Structure 1
């Protein structure tokens, strides 16, 4: 229930687009379902363009639209539930009833499990964190179960601010408590674009990377975090650079995965040196973990060997994003690349993968020639299947576009 003394404002994370039916659709994050906006709700959003008490906004909206009190309250509650409207708070405690955590996307325990079992990902991040956070103020953007923030505390960070917008924050709080890190790790609940830190940060840790690395909106989120969280807009980003690459594959390539959740969870404590008792407790009661359909089905497992994938080309670099640079300039426009064919065959798709540069030395990659990760690969089917010969070259064009509030790389033949 929305109380009249609460102050609300339109979330900085909101993106409004026109859908295929000509309706305005507001999206807030990858963990929330985009929602259509009515004319009355647009008037409500205008009333909260700046932080405004509900009672004051109600009067303005009702005078402008003739909306009744009950209709106004329903609109505010719906928009607040989707964090289109967000409460203005002095702090961001996880038990603050004014904020409604996201219940989709990364609130999924199954998805969190799938990420934790990825030792390639977790140990790469831990190595980079251990090298760069001692005596620093650290922000973990999108902390999930809190594991990266806990690594930072273990590595001697002076203070860690772990930000999480979804309901998995409840488990993160328990993980922080179970590992005795409450004095060093503060959990802030909300979208990172709506968070105001108590102090400037020296290091930002983020794992806002999708299968297509841009799919979780890493570019706009890091652009915002870098400008508002760092002292003078400068500090260390982990990772700081992303490269998106592709190879050409035969049309017979079929991605698959296996569920190994329970056995894997028993190893997490030994793998990562943390107390996973709260996590194991949730696992015992999580029905979704028992159903293979709840896991993302992605290109993630080799069949018989690397070359069973039918990779016919050399690696082709499509785009490089320096997260310390001008992100607007780097993410707009079209990039061109040439993919060289190394073997005769029939190409039907492009397999996309990325390299995330965690620091000047460490890289995390989803290359099909590297140990598999939870991401797997993004598959982009070509308009047709065609024959190629070793030595052929294919011209490619790549564009970062936004669909339903998410950025993704579009690749087409040039």
Structure 2
């Protein structure tokens, strides 16, 4: 029996409480939707077979049908797939879309696809695993030379000041806590946090951390290192992260602060403790990101 939003069965899973709001926010992000529609219209040709990894509510699969796809395999590991199935029926796309529940790395397709669409761009570019999904799809699910949307993803970092957001780290050392929570503080300081930043939070110019061509990238850690400079006095709480992505030739998306009306937030790689900084200070950084986006490791050190 199909359990849709509103039913007690659907709502018992905690993640369902916000899943519809999350997908609705993406539909309201006009810059995001317009960019993907343009890329799909430029890329998908009549008769193409398309695979949509992380299809969510199905919106990009619907766009692929309108662009002329003869078949779309829409893959989704979350409960929203049941909503997407019904939306495909309601909007007249169910004759061309086959929904596959699960993770793409565990599934196969009846035929190789001409086009891969994977809107698994996280707030910090790679935290939703787009590099791993795409690599696996290139090996097993696509025709040689298949088109990719997106084609390329770049991650940027900058020194950041964000007193409110750093509380998720610093508050584990609050003197009013009843016990020793230093281990929790250590764990929080090694966690990638999602935050909403403005230009006022940025202490210096951004630096490129990673530039990944999804046509050729390997299933291995994404690494980068370099220096960021502080351009004004303040308190540094960590490195801000954001991305830009080439969807297809001439079409890009990004979440560079500020992104008014954006459904994307930003990433924060925190320092264990805030550091008072002055204009001209430099920090050396080193970042390693697992291809599946699950493990992030970083170091941030003041250059003496």
Q: With structure 1 as the length reference, what TM-score do the two structures score? A: 0.58
* Change beyond 3 A, Cα 1:373–1:320: same
Find the residue that maps to 2:244 and give its secondary structure.
strand
1:318 matched to 2:209? The reply is: yes
Find the residue that maps to 1:339 and give its secondary structure.
strand
Deviations 1:368-390 (A, max 9, x none): 14445222111222133233333
1:362 matched to 2:251? The reply is: yes
After the TM superposition, which residues 193-212 of structure 1 pair with which residues of structure 2 at under 5 Å, given as runs? 193-212=105-124
* Change beyond 3 A, Cα 1:409–1:344: same
Find the residue that maps to 2:121 and give its secondary structure.
coil
Deviations 1:263-317 (A, max 9, x none): xxxxxxxxxxxxxxxxxxxxxxxxxxxxxxxxxx952375xxx32x3x2110111
1:163 matched to 2:54? The reply is: no
Q: Please, which runs of 5 or more residues in structure 1 have no aligned partner?
A: 1-93, 96-100, 256-296
Q: Would the aligned equivalents of 1:118 and 1:373 in 2 still touch at CA under 8 Å?
A: yes
CA distance in 1, matches of 2:116, 2:290: 25
Deviations 1:2-50 (A, max 9, x none): xxxxxxxxxxxxxxxxxxxxxxxxxxxxxxxxxxxxxxxxxxxxxxxxx
CA distance in 2, matches of 1:221, 1:401: 12
Q: Among residues 262, 267, 273, which one is paired with 1:373 in the alignment?
A: 262
| Structure whose alpha-carbon radius of gyration is higher | 1
1:275 maps to what in 2? none
Question: Following TM superposition, by how much is the alpha carbon of 1:345 offset from its aligned partner in structure 2, in angstroms?
Answer: 2.4
CA distance in 1, matches of 2:137, 2:14: 23
Moved over 6 A (4+): none
Question: Following TM superposition, by how much is the alpha carbon of 1:117 offset from its aligned partner in structure 2, in angstroms?
Answer: 2.4
2:187 maps to what in 1? none
* Change beyond 3 A, Cα 1:248–1:214: same
Deviations 1:37-92 (A, max 9, x none): xxxxxxxxxxxxxxxxxxxxxxxxxxxxxxxxxxxxxxxxxxxxxxxxxxxxxxxx
Q: Would the aligned equivalents of 2:197 and 2:266 in 1 still touch at CA under 8 Å?
A: no
Find the residue that maps to 1:327 and give its secondary structure.
coil
* Change beyond 3 A, Cα 1:299–1:335: closer
After the TM superposition, which residues 2-401 of structure 1 pair with which residues of structure 2 at under 5 Å, given as runs? 105=15, 108-135=19-46, 136-232=48-144, 234-252=145-163, 254=165, 298-300=194-196, 302=198, 306-307=199-200, 309=201, 311-329=202-220, 331=221, 334-401=223-290
* Change beyond 3 A, Cα 1:118–1:408: farther
Question: Following TM superposition, by how much is the alpha carbon of 1:211 offset from its aligned partner in structure 2, in angstroms?
Answer: 2.0
1:11 maps to what in 2? none
Deviations 1:358-405 (A, max 9, x none): 112221111114445222111222133233333333211111148xx8
1:17 maps to what in 2? none
1:412 matched to 2:299? The reply is: yes
Q: Identify the structure with the greater helix proportion.
A: 1
CA distance in 1, matches of 2:33, 2:61: 12
Deviations 1:331-382 (A, max 9, x none): 25x4211112222322122211111221122211111144452221112221
Q: Would the aligned equivalents of 2:197 and 2:257 in 1 still touch at CA under 8 Å?
A: no
Question: Following TM superposition, by how much is the alpha carbon of 1:181 offset from its aligned partner in structure 2, in angstroms?
Answer: 1.4
Find the residue that maps to 1:347 and give its secondary structure.
strand
CA distance in 1, matches of 2:30, 2:197: 15
Q: Identify the structure with the greater strand proportion.
A: 2
Question: Following TM superposition, by how much is the alpha carbon of 1:406 offset from its aligned partner in structure 2, in angstroms?
Answer: 5.1
CA distance in 2, matches of 1:345, 1:406: 31
What is the CA RMSD across the aligned residues, in angstroms? 2.7
Find the residue that maps to 1:108 and give its secondary structure.
helix
1:267 maps to what in 2? none
